[in-house]
Amino acid sequence: MLKAREFYKEFVKNTDEDLIWISEKGRGRSYREIYKTDEPAYTELVNKNIIHNIIEQAGYVAQHEYFRVDTIGWKDAGYRKMEDARTLGLNRHLWDLMIAVEHENSKADWLDEVIKLEHLRCPLKVVIGYNYCDMRDVEEMEKLEVTAKWMKAVAAYDPNSKEEYLVILGNGEAKRDKNIKYDFLIIGDTCMIMKTEGFAGYFMMKICNVIRVNIALKQQEVDCAYAVCRSSANK
Give me the pLDDT at residue 138, please.
66
Residue-wise pLDDT for 31-75, tens only, equals 989 988 999 999 999 999 999 999 999 999 999 987 889 999 999
Question: pTM for the whole thing?
Answer: 0.72
Give me the pLDDT at residue 87, please.
95
The ranges of the chain with pLDDT < 50 are 185-235
Give me the pLDDT at residue 182, please.
63
As a whole number of angstroms, the distance between CA 213 and CA 72 comes to: 27
Contact 134, 95 (CB under 8 A): no
- DSSP per-residue string spanning 130-151: EEETTS-THHHHHHHHHHHHHH
Give me the pLDDT at residue 130, please.
85
Domain residues of the chain, as ranges?
A: 4-233
As a whole number of angstroms, the distance between CA 151 and CA 154 comes to: 6
State the distance between the two ends of the chain, measured CA to CA, in whole angstroms.
Answer: 21
Pairing of strands 124-132, 164-172: parallel
